[in-house]
Amino acid sequence: MEPGRTRRLATAVVALFALSACTASAPPQPAPPPSPEGVLAIKVDNTVPGRPPVGVEAADVVYIEPVEGGLSRMLALYESRLPPRVGPVRSARETDLELLPQFGRPTLAYSGAAPELVEAITQAPIEPVTDKIAPEGFTRDDARKIPYNLFVRPEALPRGAPWPEQARFPRGPAPEDGTPAPSQETSYEAARITFDWSEPDGRWVLSMDGRPVNSAAGTPLGGPTVVFQEVPITMSGISDTAGTVSPVAASTGEGAATMFRDGKAYEGRWSRPSPQDPTRFTGPDGQPLPFADGQVWIVLVGA
């Protein structure tokens, strides 16, 4: 990629975070110091060679987002508890840089990024951490093949700023309406994502391409609340080593969303004016959709 195009890309991504600034000439604000009780986001593989994943079942929120080749990856956010190990850790994407600022200034643990994205990562309101920056927080698993053998030791990494209260999802009883939906499915070009309701467990169980996904500990992945958030997905100016263009899922703006809980589907909307604003999920009456207690999964689906 030519240098001019690279600079334009970094400038465009960084500009997303300036929406709430008063003027373009305002002096930059110092980053808040890391908090031991802050947010840690970890980029995790979600393909067959990277399975079984480790530590994802302990996350508070898990996003599934599209990546190049029509595949998907997970972005796991931790606050309430930290597992001993998480991974396999993979590289960051443009999607992460717009998605994460709503959670304060979280630490993002990842394995690297395309050269064109490095400047934008350093300018984004996150605390980036790789095995080069904090080698004590990463480990290799010799039983797995590269690039699926890098793992994070969360306790050894700095935590980002505390999770903002306004960014927490509202919890409460399910709305009175709702359509029975024992199974729901969506897909990217090369990844089929299915959540099946398990009444005995009171949670949705994840399958990828028709196969259940279990953690390394044998726990089926999934949670009590799943959201399909419909977002614009466009192609970026960044390609991987094979020349495949990386998609970008936009998480600001507004659009349709479907929340699944208690075996039912609840149609609604999502809105988020800027990267610093939290995402609001509302029902047809404009009132917030209440999430069930426990882990939340959000799938970024093409609108």
Please tell me the distance from the alpha carbon of residue 271 to that of residue 286, in angstroms, as a whole number.
11
Q: Which structural domain range is residue 61 located in?
A: 36-302
pLDDT tens string 245-269? 899 999 999 999 999 999 999 999 9
Query: Is the residue at 105 inside a domain?
Result: yes
pLDDT of residue 106: 96
Examine residue 87 and state whether it is found in any structural domain, yes or no: yes
pLDDT at 168 exceeding the cut of 80: yes
CB atoms within 10 A of CB 247: 23
Domain-embedded: residue 25? no
Q: Kindly report which listed range (10-19, 91-100, 155-164) carries the lowest average pLDDT score.
A: 10-19
Q: Per the domain annotation, does 21 fall within a domain?
A: no
Q: Is residue 230 part of a domain?
A: yes
- The rounded percent of the chain whose pLDDT value lies above 70 is 88
Gyration radius from the chain CA atoms: 19
Residue 213 domain-assigned (yes or no): yes
Residue 17, pLDDT above cutoff 90 = no
pLDDT of residue 238: 84
pLDDT score for 138: 98
- In-domain check, residue 82: yes
Cβ contact 105:35 at 8 Å = no
Collapsed DSSP state (helix, strand, coil) of residue 17: helix
Which residues are 77's β-sheet partners?
A: 41, 61
189: domain CATH number is: 3.50.90.10
**Are residues 141 and 151 in contact, defined by beta-carbon separation less than 8 angstroms?**
yes
Does any domain span residue 12? no
Residue at token pair 């993002």: 108
Domain count of the fold of the chain: 1
Contacts of 208 (CB under 8 A, 6+ apart): 46, 72, 191, 192, 193, 194
Length of the chain: 303
Q: How far apart are CA 157 and CA 160, in angstroms?
A: 10
What pLDDT band is residue 210 in, cutting at 50, 70 and 90?
A: very high
Rounded to a whole number of angstroms, the distance between the first and last alpha carbons of the chain is: 29
What are the distances in angstroms from CA 265 to CA 24, 160, 174, 182, 295? 43, 34, 10, 9, 17
